[in-house]
Structure 1
């Protein structure tokens, strides 16, 4: 039990170190208007995706920070359901790269691999969608979503710190519960058989990279490097397949397209990575 508690505490400390600083950084850059000035970097991607350059700001916010910031920038643009599906498909795979790639680094996956994989597969997913004979209909739902407004820099810092702390606490509680549940299943029901890989995939598919990787981080010593690479690759492509797609469904995106293409690509690329692992 003592070892189990130590694992939970180490994972909790890691979550605090990763979530709170990047959450604060995101709010500071948005408050200072710096984010708007770097969105041009992503305009080549919007061209490949068949979207207008104005969407680059949304992509920049999503890739660097989170889906909520991305949607806040995209909502006023009057995108069609098809365009929302394209945006949701790409950002569903490639979002919050600084934070989530740092988490994957703890699983021995370098930043360059995580970045190239997620952006590359995201673009491939969009290309596949644009070539498929799928007609996406539906009226765009109007949902007001704007960036937070603060009266002062200090107000922004205190509010951001509070929100980041609440988020970190929620993640820590959930991951701790998962760690204890895994321990019970492994020791009582399956007599210490290794369930880390499959359990982390299920957790990641439902809850996201942070949760799925959190399970892996706590149990990484029980997995081989090949298993970590397979699960990590799968999770980076297919994670949070309920909450994230539904954010875009609010604006008319096709839920089954968002989930189906990501699952298929996750299986394909994970298989290829394992097949050519020695190379």
Structure 2
């Protein structure tokens, strides 16, 4: 393609952008495309890398490597493969491995609750860790925070249930995974469907936010949640994103945080703490309902996890006040 053609395309694109910015629907569409494209640039390369890692069998190797650590959480060593699958891939794959290993036949409700909570806190790390890094959070901190948080929560739950002799009955499983193909074509189709769904959800989310802002509901939500958010050091401007991330997932909340980190509408500290909170407690509806199929205790995987997130982020917020600018830069660097 020659220089004249490039200039023509560039000019056409500029004119199209200006035309879209001229009306409210066009501006909304541009916002959706901007957010979605930012998500695509992160997700697609990482998903391909994870796919290759899975095919090479590295997940199994890593699962066996962490199996000795599972005793810390009162779990059999082979459950390490389940958690490693969740961390490198997703909850669906981890649940399939759980079933294949006969987790339902060997674990109590307490043990499944511990494993499920750890999976809910630390899963999909390649993709979600990259999204966190795009908001300015250092990748090493994003990964250590989620894995460390999952391990801390696992230890607390294990010792609590053991000391109080709670949930020691055999688990009852209500889910059996469907056998899925392993070919590249089936994988590409699945990822394409996921991206289409992500585009639709982002479109709806941005539209709802605009509608709430127009109706004045956004201010009411901010007023109601501001006292609670102040306890963990987060400003009111991050309220919408926290609600979206908590309800729907880190990918969607994170994609909005990426946009805000570049626009400067939300303070950098609030972006960092919001990302930290969503790292520990996100997608409370879908993920919770999904993991319930393994038979864990609902209070543990929902309310205990949410309370844990509030406590940890509140402590993190206090710790940030004592950090110098240089040390804070080790954790977070605005894009």
TM-score (norm 2): 0.74
Partner of 2:198: 171
Number of residues paired by the alignment? 274
Partner of 1:83: 111
Q: CA deviation at 1:7?
A: 2.6
Cα distance in 2, alignment partners of residues 215 and 94 from structure 1: 21
Q: Is 1:33 aligned with 2:64? A: no
Contact 1:209/1:240, CA 8 A, preserved across alignment: yes
Q: Is 1:224 aligned with 2:267? A: yes
Q: CA deviation at 1:242?
A: 2.1
Contact 1:90/1:122, CA 8 A, preserved across alignment: yes
Cα distance in 2, alignment partners of residues 29 and 235 from structure 1: 26
Structure 1 residues 131 and 53 mapped into 2: Cα distance closer, same or farther (>3 Å)?
closer
Contact 2:121/2:150, CA 8 A, preserved across alignment: yes
Q: CA deviation at 1:187?
A: 4.6
What are the residue-to-residue correspondences of 1:1-279 with 2, within 5 Å? Answer: 1=24, 2-79=26-103, 80=107, 81-132=109-160, 133=164, 135-136=166-167, 137=169, 139-141=171-173, 143-145=175-177, 148-150=180-182, 156-189=183-216, 196-220=237-261, 221-278=264-321, 279=323
The 3-state SS of whatever aligns with 1:53 is coil
Of 30-39 and 176-185, deviating more is 30-39
Cα distance in 2, alignment partners of residues 175 and 163 from structure 1: 18
CA RMSD of aligned residues (A): 2.4
Q: CA deviation at 1:239?
A: 0.6
Cα distance in 2, alignment partners of residues 209 and 201 from structure 1: 9
Contact 2:47/2:127, CA 8 A, preserved across alignment: no
Q: Which has the larger radius of gyration?
A: 2
Partner of 1:153: none
Q: Larger relative CO (CA 8 A, sep 6+): 1 or 2?
A: 1
Structure 1 residues 141 and 134 mapped into 2: Cα distance closer, same or farther (>3 Å)?
same
Cα distance in 1, alignment partners of residues 218 and 37 from structure 2: 29
Structure 1 residues 273 and 177 mapped into 2: Cα distance closer, same or farther (>3 Å)?
same
Contact 1:204/1:212, CA 8 A, preserved across alignment: yes
TM-score (norm 1): 0.88
Contact 1:42/1:59, CA 8 A, preserved across alignment: no
Structure 1 residues 248 and 125 mapped into 2: Cα distance closer, same or farther (>3 Å)?
same
Of 189-198 and 222-231, deviating more is 189-198
Structure 1: stretches of 5+ with no match in the other structure: 151-155
1:118-148 deviations in Å (ceiling 9; x for gaps): 1111111112212322622464225322663
